[in-house]
Amino acid sequence: MNDSAQNLVRDANDIWRAGVAAVDSARLVAAAVSVQSDRLNLGAYRVPLESIRRIVVVGAGKAGAGMSQGLLSALGDQWARAKELSGWVNVPDDCVRELPGIRLFGARPPGENVPTPRVIDGTRQILGRVRNCAPNDLCICLISGGGSALLDLPVAPITLADQIGLIEHLSSCRANIQQLNTVRKQISEVKAGRLAAACRAPLYALIISDVLGDPLDVIASGPTAADSTTTEDALSILHQFDPDESKMAPSIYAVLRAKNRPAISSAELAHVHNVIVGNLRVAIEAARGRAQQLGYRTEHTVPTALEGLAEGIGRQIVQRLHGLDSLDGRNAWIEGGEPVVQLAEADRRGLGGRNQQVILAVAEALLSSDRGLKKKFCALSGGTDGEDGPTDAAGAWLDSASFAAIQQLGLVPSHYLVHNDAYHFFERLGTLLRTGPTHTNVCDLRVLLCE
């Protein structure tokens, strides 16, 4: 690999990591929380500490460990002891660490974004702590991406197996995150504002958003927000993907049709205050700033709506690269999002994630394009949480040298695409992005460079 190509790969990784560093969960929470004299600042809210008997911390998400650390750092040992701070936060197993007062509970294995029996156990612990809050307590809820799977308690008689079947079927049918969460909210004891409604104390939710546009009722399925969807909406989605009601458990349909669980209203959540402390915009703007520091003329876009299939995003990226290729000098495009992956049947499905699928689609689109790129390029896409599907990679990149290697090795991207096997494709090229858990989650971040 020549120096120019190496520099582009180095710069793309540098720019991507700068974006992720800007949404470091501990940093975001510490910036939003402070103590001034005898007043606790939570975002724009001010809470007199003298009015608080104790502080109860709960939460769930991939950023839970960092958010907990940031909160403890902001409060300081003196106030944490004085207010008898205690807490329970559900996190992935690889995010567990020892913290004073707050139990980080490993509720699922890394890379398996579905509920487990431990999720149910941990959620019961969280719900119990919330219900035990007195009016003169303060409840702080830490919410981040991955919370939908890490915080759940299905409505009886729905079982955990029923719920997993629902998630796997809708995901395999290309249901987007909003459709999936619309259904999950209607069959849960804690989603759609029900967790917060169970609390008698003032509740402040600190939220790192992993949903485009930051809708409070969608992030982690809205445990602290009133819901705008209904059981009829959920049934409509199920009938779209299961028209004859044969693919999912009868218990799910029975609960939805019973209509004996009225939605939580905004009035019931008057004691709740939601604070967005970080999102994809923060990461994109930081990445753009780093690209400019490195000498790139930079454009960026911050999406607010759901994206389509990964293959379509890959083709869009190739169009972006052609645009950069036509410009003089060093140019960068920074963007983000969360594409959908059409899953192959389980018996022919390989290994990969949506970011790897996107970059593999870039390779396929470049190979089938009637015009090549004249300049050196690099396209990188990675999940800001450090997880991309059930793999040990955050994503992947494709540059001029690895694209040439594809042709030399005779690799066929389309074959790997239809089998969702991008991981083994990029493993052969040595272009998997591996970071380990980042303790944050604000969707996916993509960096395109050309010079």
SS3 152: coil
Query: For the chain, give me the number of helices (H) and strands (E)?
Result: 16, 15
pLDDT per position as a tens digit, 382-412: 999 999 999 999 999 999 999 999 999 999 9
Question: Structure tokens of 133?
Answer: 């809050």
pLDDT over 60 (residue 19): yes
How far apart CA 21 and CA 9 sit, in angstroms, is 18
Question: Structure tokens of 90?
Answer: 């559900």
Question: Structure tokens of 69?
Answer: 């650390």
Instruction: Give the pLDDT score at 112.
Output: 83
Angle 315-319-325 from CA coordinates, rounded to 5°: 140
Question: Structure tokens of 336?
Answer: 């983000």
Instruction: Give the pLDDT score at 322.
Output: 96
Contacts of 284 (CB under 8 A, 6+ apart): 19, 300, 301, 302, 334, 335, 336, 445
Task: Find, among 190, 188, 167, 189, the residue nearest to 238 by Cα.
Answer: 167
How far apart CA 364 and CA 165 sit, in angstroms, is 32
pLDDT over 80 (residue 3): no
Give the residue with greater pLDDT, 110 vs 362. Answer: 362
Q: Are 116 and 180 in contact (CB under 8 A)?
A: no
pLDDT, averaged across the chain: 95
High-pLDDT (> 70) share of the chain, % = 99
> Where do the DSSP E strands lie in 162-309?
203-208, 272-278, 297-300
Q: Are 184 and 231 in contact (CB under 8 A)?
A: no
Q: Are 18 and 287 in contact (CB under 8 A)?
A: yes
pLDDT over 80 (residue 315): yes
Task: Find, among 381, 278, 300, the residue nearest to 23 by Cα.
Answer: 278
Instruction: Tell me the sheet residues that pair with 398.
Output: 379
